[in-house]
Amino acid sequence: METGVKVGDLMTRNFISTGPMTDLKKCAKMMVKKRVGSLIISEGDKLKGILTEKDIIWAIVKKSKKDLDKILAKDLMKRKVVTIRPEADIVVALNKIKKKKIRRLPVVEKKKLIGMLTIKDILRIDPGLFESIVETQKIREETAKMKHSPRMRVPRKQGICEECGVFELLYHDEAQWLCETCYEKR
Protein backbone atom coordinates (compact mmCIF):
# COMPACT_ATOMS: atom_id res chain seq x y z
CA MET A 1 0.00 0.00 0.00
CA GLU A 2 1.52 3.30 -1.03
CA THR A 3 0.28 6.75 -0.05
CA GLY A 4 1.97 8.79 -2.74
CA VAL A 5 3.66 10.86 -0.01
CA LYS A 6 7.41 10.66 -0.46
CA VAL A 7 10.10 10.75 2.22
CA GLY A 8 11.59 13.83 0.54
CA ASP A 9 8.31 15.69 1.12
CA LEU A 10 8.38 15.13 4.90
CA MET A 11 12.04 14.95 5.84
CA THR A 12 13.80 17.64 7.82
CA ARG A 13 16.40 19.33 5.64
CA ASN A 14 18.03 21.37 8.38
CA PHE A 15 18.91 18.44 10.66
CA ILE A 16 21.46 18.76 13.43
CA SER A 17 24.86 17.27 12.66
CA THR A 18 28.42 17.37 13.87
CA GLY A 19 31.76 15.84 13.01
CA PRO A 20 33.20 12.60 14.37
CA MET A 21 35.84 14.46 16.41
CA THR A 22 33.27 16.38 18.52
CA ASP A 23 33.52 15.53 22.22
CA LEU A 24 30.65 13.91 24.11
CA LYS A 25 29.88 16.95 26.28
CA LYS A 26 29.52 19.22 23.24
CA CYS A 27 27.28 16.62 21.53
CA ALA A 28 25.02 16.45 24.59
CA LYS A 29 24.83 20.25 24.81
CA MET A 30 23.89 20.49 21.11
CA MET A 31 21.12 17.92 21.58
CA VAL A 32 19.72 19.74 24.62
CA LYS A 33 19.93 23.17 22.96
CA LYS A 34 18.24 22.01 19.75
CA ARG A 35 15.83 19.68 21.60
CA VAL A 36 16.65 16.63 19.49
CA GLY A 37 17.21 12.99 20.41
CA SER A 38 20.05 12.35 18.00
CA LEU A 39 22.89 13.87 16.04
CA ILE A 40 23.94 12.94 12.54
CA ILE A 41 27.69 12.41 12.45
CA SER A 42 29.01 13.50 9.09
CA GLU A 43 32.04 14.77 7.24
CA GLY A 44 30.91 17.23 4.64
CA ASP A 45 27.81 15.71 3.08
CA LYS A 46 28.91 12.13 3.78
CA LEU A 47 27.10 10.16 6.52
CA LYS A 48 29.51 8.61 9.01
CA GLY A 49 27.13 7.54 11.77
CA ILE A 50 24.42 8.54 14.20
CA LEU A 51 24.67 9.37 17.90
CA THR A 52 21.53 9.04 20.01
CA GLU A 53 20.56 10.07 23.50
CA LYS A 54 20.68 6.38 24.43
CA ASP A 55 24.36 6.22 23.39
CA ILE A 56 25.21 9.20 25.58
CA ILE A 57 23.36 7.81 28.58
CA TRP A 58 25.17 4.50 28.15
CA ALA A 59 28.53 6.30 28.25
CA ILE A 60 27.60 8.30 31.34
CA VAL A 61 26.57 5.15 33.18
CA LYS A 62 29.41 2.88 32.02
CA LYS A 63 32.42 5.21 31.89
CA SER A 64 34.24 6.96 34.71
CA LYS A 65 33.92 10.73 35.01
CA LYS A 66 37.52 11.32 33.91
CA ASP A 67 37.02 9.16 30.81
CA LEU A 68 33.95 11.14 29.72
CA ASP A 69 36.11 14.13 28.77
CA LYS A 70 38.06 11.96 26.32
CA ILE A 71 35.10 10.39 24.51
CA LEU A 72 34.42 11.63 20.99
CA ALA A 73 31.32 11.20 18.81
CA LYS A 74 33.19 8.65 16.67
CA ASP A 75 33.71 6.47 19.77
CA LEU A 76 30.00 6.10 20.51
CA MET A 77 28.21 6.58 17.20
CA LYS A 78 26.49 3.75 15.40
CA ARG A 79 28.33 3.19 12.14
CA LYS A 80 25.81 0.86 10.51
CA VAL A 81 23.00 3.31 9.97
CA VAL A 82 19.72 2.37 8.33
CA THR A 83 18.97 4.98 5.66
CA ILE A 84 16.26 5.70 3.12
CA ARG A 85 16.06 7.47 -0.22
CA PRO A 86 13.98 10.62 -0.71
CA GLU A 87 11.81 9.06 -3.43
CA ALA A 88 10.67 6.19 -1.16
CA ASP A 89 7.02 6.19 -0.12
CA ILE A 90 6.29 7.10 3.49
CA VAL A 91 4.77 3.64 4.06
CA VAL A 92 8.11 2.07 3.08
CA ALA A 93 9.80 4.36 5.62
CA LEU A 94 7.33 3.45 8.36
CA ASN A 95 7.79 -0.26 7.66
CA LYS A 96 11.56 0.16 7.84
CA ILE A 97 11.23 2.02 11.15
CA LYS A 98 9.04 -0.75 12.56
CA LYS A 99 11.17 -3.61 11.25
CA LYS A 100 14.50 -2.16 12.42
CA LYS A 101 13.01 -0.79 15.69
CA ILE A 102 14.38 2.71 15.21
CA ARG A 103 12.92 6.23 15.50
CA ARG A 104 14.83 8.12 12.83
CA LEU A 105 16.09 7.56 9.30
CA PRO A 106 18.81 9.61 7.63
CA VAL A 107 17.84 10.38 4.02
CA VAL A 108 20.59 9.69 1.50
CA GLU A 109 20.69 10.33 -2.26
CA LYS A 110 23.68 9.22 -4.36
CA LYS A 111 25.68 8.63 -1.14
CA LYS A 112 25.02 12.24 -0.13
CA LEU A 113 23.25 13.01 3.16
CA ILE A 114 20.33 15.32 2.41
CA GLY A 115 17.90 15.03 5.31
CA MET A 116 16.46 13.22 8.29
CA LEU A 117 13.07 11.56 8.72
CA THR A 118 11.70 10.94 12.21
CA ILE A 119 8.50 9.47 13.60
CA LYS A 120 7.39 13.05 14.39
CA ASP A 121 7.73 13.97 10.71
CA ILE A 122 5.50 11.03 9.74
CA LEU A 123 2.89 11.87 12.38
CA ARG A 124 2.62 15.41 11.05
CA ILE A 125 1.22 14.08 7.78
CA ASP A 126 -1.02 11.32 9.20
CA PRO A 127 -1.76 11.29 12.93
CA GLY A 128 -3.64 8.03 12.32
CA LEU A 129 -0.27 6.32 11.98
CA PHE A 130 0.24 7.05 15.68
CA GLU A 131 -1.72 3.92 16.62
CA SER A 132 0.58 1.79 14.48
CA ILE A 133 3.67 3.32 16.08
CA VAL A 134 2.28 2.96 19.61
CA GLU A 135 1.47 -0.69 18.92
CA THR A 136 5.05 -1.28 17.79
CA GLN A 137 6.33 0.36 20.99
CA LYS A 138 4.03 -1.81 23.15
CA ILE A 139 5.25 -4.96 21.45
CA ARG A 140 8.88 -3.87 21.90
CA GLU A 141 8.29 -3.13 25.60
CA GLU A 142 6.52 -6.46 26.13
CA THR A 143 9.38 -8.31 24.47
CA ALA A 144 11.89 -6.57 26.73
CA LYS A 145 9.81 -7.41 29.82
CA MET A 146 9.67 -11.06 28.81
CA LYS A 147 13.45 -11.26 28.55
CA HIS A 148 13.80 -10.05 32.14
CA SER A 149 10.83 -11.84 33.67
CA PRO A 150 11.52 -14.83 35.91
CA ARG A 151 8.20 -16.35 34.86
CA MET A 152 8.27 -16.85 31.10
CA ARG A 153 5.11 -15.58 29.46
CA VAL A 154 4.28 -14.98 25.85
CA PRO A 155 1.47 -12.65 24.77
CA ARG A 156 -0.77 -14.55 22.43
CA LYS A 157 -3.17 -11.94 21.11
CA GLN A 158 -4.67 -8.55 21.68
CA GLY A 159 -8.17 -8.42 23.09
CA ILE A 160 -10.36 -7.98 26.15
CA CYS A 161 -9.19 -9.44 29.46
CA GLU A 162 -11.64 -12.06 30.71
CA GLU A 163 -10.95 -11.01 34.31
CA CYS A 164 -11.17 -7.18 34.29
CA GLY A 165 -12.42 -6.30 30.78
CA VAL A 166 -9.44 -4.12 29.75
CA PHE A 167 -8.36 -4.13 26.08
CA GLU A 168 -4.63 -5.07 25.98
CA LEU A 169 -2.14 -7.71 24.97
CA LEU A 170 -3.41 -10.94 26.50
CA TYR A 171 -1.69 -13.94 28.06
CA HIS A 172 -3.19 -17.39 28.22
CA ASP A 173 -3.41 -18.72 31.77
CA GLU A 174 -5.09 -22.06 32.21
CA ALA A 175 -8.43 -21.54 30.44
CA GLN A 176 -8.54 -17.73 30.44
CA TRP A 177 -7.14 -14.82 28.44
CA LEU A 178 -5.78 -12.24 30.88
CA CYS A 179 -4.15 -8.80 30.68
CA GLU A 180 -0.70 -8.41 32.21
CA THR A 181 -2.03 -7.04 35.50
CA CYS A 182 -4.48 -9.89 36.06
CA TYR A 183 -1.91 -12.45 34.85
CA GLU A 184 0.66 -11.19 37.38
CA LYS A 185 -1.89 -11.42 40.25
CA ARG A 186 -2.18 -15.21 39.78
Reported as a single tens digit per residue, the pLDDT across 28-63 is: 999 999 999 999 999 988 999 999 999 999 988 888
Percent residues over pLDDT 90 in the chain: 37
Question: Has residue 143 been placed in a domain?
Answer: no
Angle at 185 between CA 182 and CA 186, to 5 degrees: 100
Rounded CA-CA distance 185/145 in Å is 16
d(CA 8, CA 29): 28
Q: Do 155 and 80 have their domain in common? A: no
Q: Is residue 131 part of a domain?
A: no
Total of domains in the chain = 2
145 part of a folded domain: no
Whole-number pLDDT of residue 174: 72
Each residue's pLDDT tens digit, 145-180: 655 554 445 557 788 888 888 888 888 777 788 888
> Which residues are 158's β-sheet partners?
169
* pLDDT of residue 86 exceeding 80: yes
Mean pLDDT to the nearest integer, 83-87: 94
Would the pTM of this model clear 0.85, i.e. be above it?
no
Domain with 64 in it: 7-125
Which CATH number goes with the domain that contains 58?
3.10.580.10
Query: What pLDDT shows up at residue 42?
Result: 93
32 shares its domain with 114: yes
Is residue 113 located within the same domain as residue 162?
A: no
Same domain, 83 and 173: no
Residue 2 covered by a domain: no
